């Protein structure tokens, strides 16, 4: 045991780490039996490490940005005395050494050029992120957890991020669910989402015999799922509003026989398309509720006893007086695509117990549900 207060047991922890390290093998070596400890390090790697640390101290004294671009790292390599790093593979191996030893902080994402930035000081980066968490919901700059892009850019002032690197900064915020892009040139700040609905959603619901419920049972809900789901839903709902507006403008020229959406009868030509005119939209930390003419859809966290064990899940309810339940497919597609995109392999390797239960609540017998 190690005491963080008295540091009792620290020597034992050091000895344990040393023993484990001595037995570790270098899996990247051509000689699989070569041990990781006492492995020889090229002198050029150490020289580059010293140059990077010197650059970090220099920037800290000048209150400058604490990140390097890939081009700047190449310049440092060229200016380092005794450099024998000549090709791309040598450079990547040297950079990997700096990352493994903690001299650089790097996120190998492929989007928006985030992989082209190498951070020198994690503390400086955390201070940049702290600006976002300092935003309070009471401020007019962020309403209902949403902030306009132009107001968001004002937070970059003083961080050192420029117009050329602001996209990398926004991508970094999205990577850790600190700020997620949504429609209408705005961002969602999950830490400002209320714990409960701001409105009494039960008062917006009406008793009906035309209701379908689907439950996704999971052994656990992945961290960041709800933030990304709500952001994705806000984008899709805004796009749906735009499509409705465009369809209304083109009503005279559109074929009258075209069905916008349908899950009933034989009208299946566009059954996966969900378009309604929203009347209320409410969202919170773990849920979203949308009402429209003749029905509503609800998505929220579901914590029920499953085989005598508490487990998280997602409960979807769709009500439609017109007996059109395309909203269920609309929500289900978003849930599946979100898990596949951001949590790959979760459904296949059983790290998430992924079971779908579907209930038809008091639906009239003639209704046909298409799987």
- Predicted confidence at residue 349, as pLDDT, reads 46
Q: Give 127-167 pLDDT, tens digit per residue.
A: 888 888 877 755 567 777 888 888 888 877 777 777 778 88
User: Cα–Cα distance between 46 and 39 in angstroms, integer?
Assistant: 13
Q: What long-range pairs does 182-185 form, CB within 8 A, spacing at least 24?
A: 182/146, 182/231, 182/234, 182/235, 182/238, 183/234, 183/235, 183/237, 183/238, 183/239, 184/238, 185/148, 185/149, 185/150
Per-residue tens of pLDDT for the chain, all 371 residues: 778 778 888 899 999 988 888 888 766 655 556 777 777 888 999 999 999 999 999 999 988 889 999 899 999 999 988 888 888 999 999 999 999 899 999 988 765 577 888 999 999 988 888 888 877 755 567 777 888 888 888 877 777 777 778 888 888 888 888 888 886 688 888 888 888 887 777 666 666 678 888 888 777 778 888 988 998 888 888 887 777 656 555 554 444 433 332 222 333 333 346 777 888 888 998 999 998 888 888 998 886 544 445 556 888 888 888 888 888 888 888 888 888 877 776 555 444 444 445 554 444 333 333 33
Q: At 93, list the tokens.
A: 């191996």
**Where would I find the H helices in the chain?**
10-23, 43-61, 70-79, 88-100, 122-133, 149-154, 166-175, 201-204, 225-249, 326-342
- Predicted confidence at residue 57, as pLDDT, reads 95
Strands 117-119, 67-69: pairing kind: antiparallel
- Predicted confidence at residue 165, as pLDDT, reads 80
User: Cα–Cα distance between 270 and 64 in angstroms, integer?
Assistant: 55
User: Cα–Cα distance between 117 and 345 in angstroms, integer?
Assistant: 28
- Predicted confidence at residue 96, as pLDDT, reads 92
User: Cα–Cα distance between 239 and 278 in angstroms, integer?
Assistant: 12
Rg (alpha carbons) of the chain, rounded to whole number: 27
Catalogue all structural domains in the chain, each as residue range(s) with its CATH number: 1-40 (no CATH), 41-119 (1.10.10), 122-192 (1.10.10.2200), 201-250+259-361 (3.30.310.200)
- Predicted confidence at residue 267, as pLDDT, reads 32
User: Cα–Cα distance between 74 and 334 in angstroms, integer?
Assistant: 42
**HSE of 25, CA atoms in CB hemisphere, 13 A:** 8
**HSE of 62, CA atoms in CB hemisphere, 13 A:** 10
**CA nearest neighbour of 280 among 215, 165, 201:** 201
- Predicted confidence at residue 310, as pLDDT, reads 53
Location of structure tokens 């899950």: 263
- Predicted confidence at residue 362, as pLDDT, reads 43
- Predicted confidence at residue 249, as pLDDT, reads 55
Location of structure tokens 């450079």: 91
- Predicted confidence at residue 347, as pLDDT, reads 56
């Amino acid at each position: 045991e190690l005491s963080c207060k008295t540091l009792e047991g620290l020597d034992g922890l050091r000895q344990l780490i040393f023993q484990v390290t001595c037995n570790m093998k270098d899996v990247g070596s051509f000689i699989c039996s070569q041990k990781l400890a006492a492995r020889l390090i090229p002198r050029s790697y150490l020289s580059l490490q010293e140059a990077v640390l010197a650059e970090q101290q220099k920037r800290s004294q000048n209150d400058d940005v604490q990140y390097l671009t890939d081009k700047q790292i190449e310049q440092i390599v060229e200016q380092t005395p005794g450099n024998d790093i000549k090709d791309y593979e040598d450079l990547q191996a040297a950079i990997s050494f700096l990352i493994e030893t903690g001299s650089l902080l790097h996120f190998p994402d492929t989007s928006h050029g985030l992989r082209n930035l190498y951070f020198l000081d994690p503390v400086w980066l955390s201070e940049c992120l702290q600006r976002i968490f300092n935003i309070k919901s009471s401020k007019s700059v962020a309403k209902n957890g949403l902030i306009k892009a132009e107001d968001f850019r004002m937070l970059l002032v003083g961080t050192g991020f420029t117009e050329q690197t602001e996209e990398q900064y926004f991508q970094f915020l999205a990577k850790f669910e600190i700020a997620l892009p949504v429609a209408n040139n705005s961002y969602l700040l999950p830490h400002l989402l209320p714990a409960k609905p701001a409105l009494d959603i039960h008062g917006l619901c009406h008793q009906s015999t035309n209701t379908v419920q689907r439950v996704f049972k999971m052994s656990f809900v992945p961290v960041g799922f709800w933030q990304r789901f709500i952001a994705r839903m806000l984008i899709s709902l805004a796009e749906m509003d735009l499509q409705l507006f465009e369809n209304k403008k083109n009503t005279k020229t559109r074929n009258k026989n075209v069905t916008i959406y349908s899950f009933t009868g034989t009208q299946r030509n566009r059954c996966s398309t969900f378009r309604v005119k929203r009347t209320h939209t409410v969202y919170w930390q773990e849920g979203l509720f949308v009402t429209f003419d003749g029905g509503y859809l609800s998505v929220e966290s579901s914590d029920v006893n499953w085989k005598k064990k508490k487990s998280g899940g997602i409960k979807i309810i769709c009500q439609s007086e017109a007996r059109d339940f395309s909203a269920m497919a609309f929500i289900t597609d978003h849930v599946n695509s979100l898990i596949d995109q951001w949590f790959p392999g979760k459904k296949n390797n059983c790290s998430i117990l992924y079971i779908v239960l579907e209930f038809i609540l008091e639906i009239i017998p003639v209704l046909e549900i298409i799987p």
